[in-house]
Chains A and B, each alone.
Chain A
C-alpha cells in the first residue's frame, strides 16, 4: 500500500503550516529583467510553489547555512567587552520541493559540521527544518547525481520524498521527523493500491546516467597519487577563480569570519560564505600564498570533493547537481573533468 497526496491536499497542508507560523520554503518562479528562473524562497501562498519547474538556480543550503549569519554582538563599555550571543535555535521551517541532490547535500555536510567541533548554528537550523523532497521529472546535460551514488528519486537527507504521479504524489516517509509530519496529515495521505509511481523518474535516471559514468574509488585513488600532474595546469587556465561554482554548490560549506562595527564601540561578529577559488582564501599575512595560482586552487576544489572528504568521512562532497557547470562563465565542466580524470585512472590501472 502506498500513501498518496494530491496537490490540493499538499496546498492545504502548506496553508495549515503557514497559519501555524511555520516558515515554508519552496521553489518559486522568478522573472528579473526578462530572465526567468526558479529559486528556493519563502512562500506566503501555496499557489506560488513550482514543483514542476527547472532546478532552482541556487542550492537549498542557504536555508540551513545563510550567506551571512551573526554569531554574536559586542559592546565595549569602559574597557569591558560585553558579548551577546546569537540564538542557535530557530523557528520551524518546512521545505517543500527540495531536489534530491539538495536534500542529500545536507546529510553529507553534517559530517564536517560535527567533526572538529559541533556547529551549533548549522545543527540549530537542521533541527528546525523538515525537508520534503520531490523526485525529479526532468534533468539536463549537467546533472550527474547517478555518478555519485544518488538518483533522481534518492531519499537521502529528506524527511519525505514525494514522487509525482499524475496530479498527485506518492509519499515516501523517510525519517522520524517525516513520521511526525505524516501523523498530523494522515487524512490527507490516504492509502491506495495504485501501481507503483516510482517508474515515472526512471527515464530521467537513464538520461542522467548517460551524462557520466565514474568509479569513485578509482578516481579517489588516482587523485591521491596525482597532486602534481600537468592536467591541473591545463584545465585551470580558463578558470577565472570567481568562486561562483562554490557559491551555488549545495555541498560547499567554507566560511569567513569577520567583525563589523555598527557604531562606536559596538558591532557584530558574522560568518559569511567563502570559497577556495579566489586567491585571497589562502593568502597569508606575510604575502605568501601556498596555492600559488589558479591551477592549485582548482585542484583543491576537485581534491576536496573527490579525495579529501571521501577519505576523511567516506562521502563524496558532491551530489552531482550540476550547478557549478551551469553557472560557470568560463565553461569549466566538472563532468568532462571527472571523465578525463576517470580515463587517466583507468589507464593508470591497466599499466600497474
Chain B
C-alpha cells in the first residue's frame, strides 16, 4: 500500500499527471477514488475488495473525468484489457495515460465483501488468472500474490444452460429478461460501451423499443451482447450493476466462447492484437452467408 501511495504522490508532485484514479475505503467497503493532490494519496488502498474496473472512467463519455486532465490509473491485469480495448478501438492514446499495474491476489465478487478471499468469495473472472501485473504497466506495485484456487468450474452455469433444449432456454431467458426495466446501467458501467449515442437510443428508426416489455428487453439485451462479442473484457461489471439481478455475464461468456472457437480470439491486454470485429481474414468462416 505504501508503495502505491508513494508512487501516486510522486506522480502528482512531479506533475506527470493531474489526477490518480485508484481505490479508497468508504463506509461500506471500497470505491473508486479520484485523487488530485499529493496529500490525498494516503487514501489509496488496494486489496481483494478492489473489484471495480477503473478504465471505465477513461471512456470519452466521461466528460467530467476527462476534465481532470492527464490521468494515472490503477489497473489489475484484467482491467488492462479494457485499456487495450479502448486503444484498439481508437478511444484512447496510450501516451496520454500512466498505468499503475498492481500485482493482484484476486478479488471478491463485490466491493463490500467482509469475508476473507477464498474459493467461496472469489469473483468468477479470477478463476484461472495468475494475478500478475499487466505488461502495459508503466509502474508496477505490490509483491507477487497468489490467487486462491477457484471454487469449481467457472462455466458450470453456462454448461447447464447449454444442455437445455432451445424451448427451455427461451423460457429461462424470458423469465430473466422480463425483470429488466431498461435502466441501461449495464451499458453505463461497461468500459467498452463508449458510444456517444447508443443504438438503443435511436428513435428514427426505432431499432430497439425502449419499453421494458419482453420484446424490447430481448432486443436490448441481445443487441448489447452481440455488440460486445469479441469486445467484452470480462470484468463482470454489467452483471454487478444490474438492479434486476439478471445474470448478464452468461451472455457475454457464451459469446466469448464462440469468438474463441470461430476466430481464435481471446480478450487480451495486448492492444496490438486485432479484434475480430475490426480485422479481416480470408480464412474467416463464412458458411452462414447464403
On A, residues with C-beta under 8 Å from B are 30, 32-35, 37, 57-58, 67-68, 141-142, 233, 236-238, 240-244, 246-248, 256, 258, 260-261, 270, 272-273, 275, 278-280, 292-295, 325, 327, 329-333, 335-336
When distances are taken between beta carbons in the complex, the residues of chain A under 8 Å from B187 are 242
B276 located at the interface, meaning its Cβ lies under 8 Å from any Cβ of chain A in the complex:
no
B48 located at the interface, meaning its Cβ lies under 8 Å from any Cβ of chain A in the complex:
no
Restricting to B180-215, which residues have a CB under 8 Å from any CB of A?
A: 181-185, 187-189, 201, 203, 206, 209-213
When distances are taken between beta carbons in the complex, the residues of chain B under 8 Å from A242 are 183-185, 187-189, 241
Give min CB distance, B140 to chain A, whole Å. 25
Known: A57-B243, A242-B241. A68 touches B28 (CB 8 A): no
When distances are taken between beta carbons in the complex, the residues of chain B under 8 Å from A240 are 56, 185, 188-189, 241
**8 CB-based A-B contacts, threshold 8 Å:** A33-B250, A242-B184, A244-B242, A247-B185, A278-B184, A293-B63, A294-B64, A331-B30
Is A275 touching B183 in the complex (CB atoms < 8 A)?
yes
Considering the chains assembled together, what is the distance between the CA atoms of A327 and B189 in angstroms?
13
Is A243 touching B188 in the complex (CB atoms < 8 A)?
yes
**Proximity bits, B220-253, A CB within 8 Å = 1, else 0:** 0000000000000000010011111111001000
B32 located at the interface, meaning its Cβ lies under 8 Å from any Cβ of chain A in the complex:
yes
Restricting to B42-94, which residues have a CB under 8 Å from any CB of A?
A: 52, 56-57, 61-65, 67-68
B111 located at the interface, meaning its Cβ lies under 8 Å from any Cβ of chain A in the complex:
yes
A66: nearest residue on chain B (CB-CB)?
A: B212
**Proximity bits, B1-32, A CB within 8 Å = 1, else 0:** 00000000000000000000000001111111
When distances are taken between beta carbons in the complex, the residues of chain A under 8 Å from B62 are 294
Is B176 touching A233 in the complex (CB atoms < 8 A)?
no
Q: A32-B246, A256-B210 are in contact. List 14 more A-B contacts (CB 8 A).
A: A30-B245, A32-B247, A33-B247, A68-B216, A237-B57, A242-B188, A243-B188, A247-B185, A258-B206, A273-B212, A279-B61, A294-B62, A327-B241, A331-B29
Considering the chains assembled together, what is the distance between the CA atoms of A238 and B188 in angstroms?
12
When distances are taken between beta carbons in the complex, the residues of chain A under 8 Å from B52 are 329-331
Is A244 touching B26 in the complex (CB atoms < 8 A)?
no
Is A272 touching B157 in the complex (CB atoms < 8 A)?
no
A62: nearest residue on chain B (CB-CB)?
A: B181
When distances are taken between beta carbons in the complex, the residues of chain A under 8 Å from B26 are 331, 333, 336
Known: A330-B31, A331-B31. A278 touches B188 (CB 8 A): yes
A246: nearest residue on chain B (CB-CB)?
A: B183
Is B211 touching A237 in the complex (CB atoms < 8 A)?
no
On B, residues with C-beta under 8 Å from A are 26-34, 52, 56-57, 61-65, 67-68, 111, 157, 176, 181-185, 187-189, 201, 203, 206, 209-213, 216, 237, 240-247, 250
Give min CB distance, B218 to chain A, whole Å. 14
Give min CB distance, B113 to chain A, whole Å. 13
Is A233 touching B64 in the complex (CB atoms < 8 A)?
yes
When distances are taken between beta carbons in the complex, the residues of chain A under 8 Å from B30 are 331
Is B27 touching A336 in the complex (CB atoms < 8 A)?
yes
When distances are taken between beta carbons in the complex, the residues of chain A under 8 Å from B201 are 280
Is B64 touching A68 in the complex (CB atoms < 8 A)?
no
When distances are taken between beta carbons in the complex, the residues of chain A under 8 Å from B209 are 258, 260
Is B211 touching A247 in the complex (CB atoms < 8 A)?
no
Cross-chain contact of B245 among A57, A247, A331, A336 (Cβ < 8 A): A57
Give min CB distance, A238 to chain B, whole Å. 4
Considering the chains assembled together, what is the distance between the CA atoms of A76 and B68 in angstroms?
53
A280: nearest residue on chain B (CB-CB)?
A: B201
Known: A237-B34, A238-B32, A330-B32. A243 touches B212 (CB 8 A): no
B66: nearest residue on chain A (CB-CB)?
A: A293
Is A272 touching B210 in the complex (CB atoms < 8 A)?
yes
Give min CB distance, A148 to chain B, whole Å. 18
Considering the chains assembled together, what is the distance between the CA atoms of A295 and B213 in angstroms?
31
A69: nearest residue on chain B (CB-CB)?
A: B211
Give min CB distance, A50 to chain B, whole Å. 16
Is A247 touching B181 in the complex (CB atoms < 8 A)?
yes
